[in-house]
Chains A and B, each alone.
Chain A
Amino acid sequence: MSDTTQTLPKAGKTLSGGRIDLLIAALLLAMAIAAPFVIESRYMMGQLILGLFWASVAVQWNLLFGYAGVFSLGQMAVFAVGGYATAMLAYYLDLNIFLAIAAGAVIATVFSALVGLACLRLQGVYVALLTYAIAQVIYLLIVTDTNCFEMVGTTCRQFTGGATGFARFGDFGMRAILKGDWIKGNYAIVLGCFVLSMLVSWIILHGPMGLAFKALRDNQAYAVARGINRFHTQLLVFGLSAFFTGMTGGLYATHFQAIGPGIFSISSLLFILAIAVVGGVGTFWGPVVGTIVLMVADELMREVGSFRSIGLGLIIAFAVVALPRGLVGRFSDIFHKHKS
């Protein structure tokens, strides 16, 4: 039996752990910065941006589940709230897109805190169901919305965008500046926001709040006895993870210049969960590694044509079975074994 609690007793090694994190971060960042200078393919740049989106959402979900032990299935709903809020603010109020993204992140935070409030007394799978039910209600009410809010040309538009969603509410403005290389501009913005979210997450996880999360996850009764306020901590983690998830949602909507109800789909949610689990739940780099692995696997699977989905499903199942602590957990096991 081995589990993620291993990170706790090794407190004495945080310094070296921090140094390793720094090293990995520097390496990844260097590669990420070099990418647009090396890669010419717009598709590849697009995949990198998509990868940053998924990694960011998975990192934030990992913060909730891997560190705070809250098994939420509402992650894509938070993402969608951020995206929808951004789109609607920009569409209806002509808000500057960057302001809209920031506002979207705040709205997502408030939404998520409310969900957190509802989940307060629940455990494990019950949290999963509640968060999922909330996400599903929002989705269903949006897609079945048929009331005309305004007429656009000859067709009616629902306030929520209905089954169609929103498009053309503004973009980063990179097409005007960079012309054909606009995607590299988008990449720079998305990368910047991603780095910011990783930085904040790292600081939080290595601060007193991070310890409180872990304590609640590993032994709730003990943590509460030690004076950790479950109510505050849980709300905080819901809100915190939601801020960056919502922001990513806004960036996503702006990059693709579209947001629609499809984003609530269970398949994108499960892809996020798979990323975190394959990479390593409860490890800082797990979701990032998981994103890289799954996106590369997906890319390779495209070569086998119609067997792609079968292969991808099997890869996910195999990864979970063969790597019970995820790739990063497996690496760190090997690493620690070598050290001791």
Chain B
Amino acid sequence: MINRRSLLRNSLASGAGLSLLAGMNASTANAADAEPIPIGAALPMSGTAAADGIEFKNGLDLAIEEINAVGGILGRPLELHIEDTAEMGADVVSQAMQRLIDRYGTPVIVNGYNYGTNMVEMDVAADSDVIFIHYNTLISHNNKFKEDPDRYYGSFQGDPPEYYYGPGLLSYLNGLIDSGQWEPANRKIALVASSVEYSIVIANAVREFADQYGWEISLYETVQFPTNQWGPTLAKIRQDEPAVIAVTHFLPQDLAAFMTQFIPQPTNSLVYMQYGPSLPAFKEIGGESVKGVVYSTVVGCLPDDFSEGFRTAYREKFGPTAAYLTGSQTYDGLWKWALSAAIAGGAGEPYDGDQARAVSASMNRLIYRGVNGICRFDPEGQSAYTFPAQTPDASLGMPHQFLQHQDLTQDPVLVAPPAYAKGSFILPPWMS
């Protein structure tokens, strides 16, 4: 049950959203006996990615609790249905989504990520006329959307594709140099990717743009997924010391292991990592050795006042170690959809193309400020705009956040983009 106090606090979090929805609901009566709207989610609840699957579900649970507390969507409460996608193959995920649609009649499916699907989810959504929001963070979404925008009208990627990590990182590095915060010994980057699409696309994007930004890729290593013995890779890095080590592998425990094996014999390099450092486990496992690590994320709960209510509520509800950074994604996704559906006059149901198109149109129109920042869809690819790589206007794109582990007793410090930054970059201890 949600009480009045926490409702108030949460209304701080979802701010405009909550009151907007409440306002729209005010005109509709008898919310109590209205038939619930089924909400679908196909998440990896078991297997290698289960940890994240659970957080994605938490985010949805919290959003639904809040939305229902103000009367649901036009008087109809939301009801969550989960399908487990375990090892997340194309077959499993598309069948899971189809099951949600056929079994529960879900007009919307909000997924976290499922990797290895080749974005077949979009075909399921298109064939059944449902709205599909996901956080796969893949440029393949945009590419597929572009091939047939009319068919894939209902598919949205709630965050910017991983591709923008490439230019984002490079322009951040140049910014550090230009502002005099860092003087690199050379212009070499050592790229360490793991054998997963996400990791490889990011590494490839960095490689592709390196020239343009004045950098040289001195080493490109693809390690297995997962990996925990970094000895040979580190030895290679030490052979030709780069100014930047960019690890696009993302499992927190493996990245922590990288740091514990790197620190005893460090090189004079900035260490940049992907995703994993945002999870509590990274710091807990790596301890002192992760101090100074820079990482970035194109989506994640911003450490600002606006999201404080969300963060508190999340930790209260799911425990102190719960990773709200992950849960925030589906949380925002569902909120944005709920508002759009309310504006469009209802959630609709599967195989009702007209209503789904109406909801889709209102999702494209609505610029939503969630706990992850701005969500505004790029009409070219129907993924969230990223700021600053795609748009120079902070109010029109989701911030590509650069964070650094500075004081281990505190949360990591947001060091870029400047509009959101809470502190500034410090030279990691092994470099000074």
Interface residues of A (CB under 8 A from B): 41-44, 46-47, 50, 140, 143-144, 146, 148, 152-156, 162-168, 175, 180, 182, 252, 256-263, 265, 267-268, 302, 305-306, 308-309
Given A146-B203, A259-B118, A309-B86, list of 11 further CB < 8 A pairs?
A41-B102, A43-B95, A43-B103, A47-B95, A140-B224, A144-B195, A167-B118, A256-B90, A258-B119, A265-B89, A306-B45
Chain A residue contacts of B19, Cβ below 8 A: none
Chain A residues, Cβ within 8 Å of B94: 46, 256
Binds A, one of B63-71, B137-145, B182-190: B137-145
One digit per residue, 1 when the CB lies within 8 angstroms of any chain A CB and 0 when it does not, for chain B 58-94 equals: 0000000000000000000000001110111111001
Interface contact A257-B95, CB-CB below 8 Å: no
Complex A-B: 20 CB contacts under 8 Å? A41-B103, A42-B98, A42-B101, A42-B102, A43-B102, A143-B195, A143-B225, A144-B222, A146-B200, A155-B139, A155-B143, A156-B208, A165-B116, A168-B144, A180-B351, A256-B90, A256-B120, A260-B118, A265-B89, A305-B84
Q: CA separation between A308 and B86, bound complex, in Å?
A: 10
**A167, B204: Cβ atoms under 8 Å?**
no
| Chain A positions within 8 Å of B83 at CB level | 302
A47 to chain B, nearest CB (A): 7
* C-alpha gap A44/B95 in the complex (Å): 9
B89, A263: Cβ atoms under 8 Å?
yes
On whether the beta carbons of A50 and B95 are closer than 8 Å, the reply is yes
Residues of A within 8 A of B139 (CB): 153-155
> Is B90 in contact with A258, judged by CB distance below 8 angstroms?
yes
B203 → chain A closest CB, angstroms: 7
**Contact across chains for A166 and B195 when beta carbons are under 8 A apart:** no
Chain B: number of interface residues, binned into ranges: 35 or more
Q: Does B197 contact A (CB under 8 A)?
A: yes
Give the chain B neighbours of A257 by CB distance below 8 A. Answer: 118, 120, 123
Distance (whole angstroms) from the CB of A148 to the closest CB of chain B = 7
- Tell whether, in the assembled complex, residue A262 and residue B195 are in contact, meaning their CB atoms are under 8 Å apart: no
B238 part of interface (Cβ distance < 8 Å): no
B335 interface hit (Cβ, 8 Å): no
Q: Is the CB of A265 within 8 A of B163?
A: no
Q: Are A308 and B84 in contact (CB under 8 A)?
A: yes
The residue that A262 contacts in the complex, of B46, B90, B98, B119, with Cβ under 8 A, is B90
How far in angstroms is the closest Cβ of chain A from B102? Answer: 4
Query: Min CB distance, A187 to chain B, in Å?
Result: 13
**Smallest beta-carbon distance B379→chain A, Å:** 16
Q: Is A262 a contact of B86 with CB atoms below 8 Å?
A: no
Among A44, A155, A260, contact of B116 (Cβ-Cβ < 8 Å): A260
The answer to whether B91 touches A252, judged by C-beta atoms less than 8 angstroms apart, is yes
Nearest A-chain residue to B46, judged by Cβ: A309
Please judge, given known A-B contacts A146-B203, A153-B143, whether A260 and B90 are in contact too, CB under 8 Å: yes
Residues of B201-227 whose CB lies within 8 A of A: 201, 203-205, 208, 220, 222, 224-225
Contacts of A42 in B (CB 8 A): 98, 101-102, 127-128
B-chain residues with CB within 8 Å of residue A252 when the two chains form the complex = 91
Pairwise interchain contact B208-A165, C-beta atoms closer than 8 A: no
Which residues of the partner chain B approach A260 to less than 8 Å between Cβ atoms? 89-90, 116-118
Tell me, in angstroms, the Cα distance from A156 to B89 when the chains sit together: 22
B363 is an interface residue with CB less than 8 A from chain A: no
The 7 closest A-B pairs by CB, nearest first: A258-B118, A167-B118, A43-B102, A262-B116, A143-B195, A258-B90, A262-B89
> A74 CA to B32 CA in the complex, in Å?
56
A297 to B37, CA, bound (A): 28
Shortest Cβ gap from B88 to chain A (Å): 7
B123 proximity list for chain A (CB < 8 A):
257
Given A41-B102, A46-B95, A153-B143, A163-B120 contact (CB < 8 Å): no
Roughly how many angstroms separate A213 CA and B221 CA in the complex, as a whole number? 47
Q: Which residue, of A167, A259, A263, A308, has the highest number of chain B Cβ atoms within 10 A?
A: A167
Given contacts A156-B204, A256-B120, A309-B46, contact A267 B95 (CB under 8 A): no
Closest CB in chain B relative to A45 CB, distance in Å? 9
Q: Determine whether the beta carbon of A262 is less than 8 Å from that of B140.
A: no
Tell me if A148 and B120 are in contact (CB < 8 A).
no
Q: How far is the CA of A302 from the CA of B163 in the complex (A)?
A: 35
Answer yes or no: B196 CB below 8 A from chain A CBs: yes
Give the distance in Å from the alpha carbon of A102 to the alpha carbon of B45 in the complex.
37
**Minimum C-beta distance from A330 to chain B (A):** 29
In the complex, B9 has a CB within 8 A of chain A: no
A261-B140 in contact (CB<8A): no
B 34-74 to A, binary, CB cutoff 8 A, 1 in contact else 0: 00000000000111000000000000000000000000000
User: Which A residues are in CB contact (< 8 Å) with B102?
Assistant: 41-44
Please report the C-alpha to C-alpha distance between residue A155 and residue B101 in the assembled complex, in whole angstroms.
32
Contacts of B203 in A (CB 8 A): 146
Q: Which residue of A lies closest to B142 (CB)?
A: A153
Query: In the complex, what's the smallest C-beta–C-beta distance from A299 to chain B, in angstroms?
Result: 9
Task: Say how far A280's CB is from chain B's closest CB, in angstroms.
Answer: 25
Q: Is B357 an interface residue (CB 8 A)?
A: no
Which residue of chain A has its CB nearest to the CB of B45?
A306
Considering the chains assembled together, what is the distance between the CA atoms of A135 and B45 in angstroms? Answer: 27
By a CB distance below 8 angstroms, the chain B residues around A143 are 195-196, 225
Judge whether B147 is part of the interface by a CB distance below 8 angstroms: yes
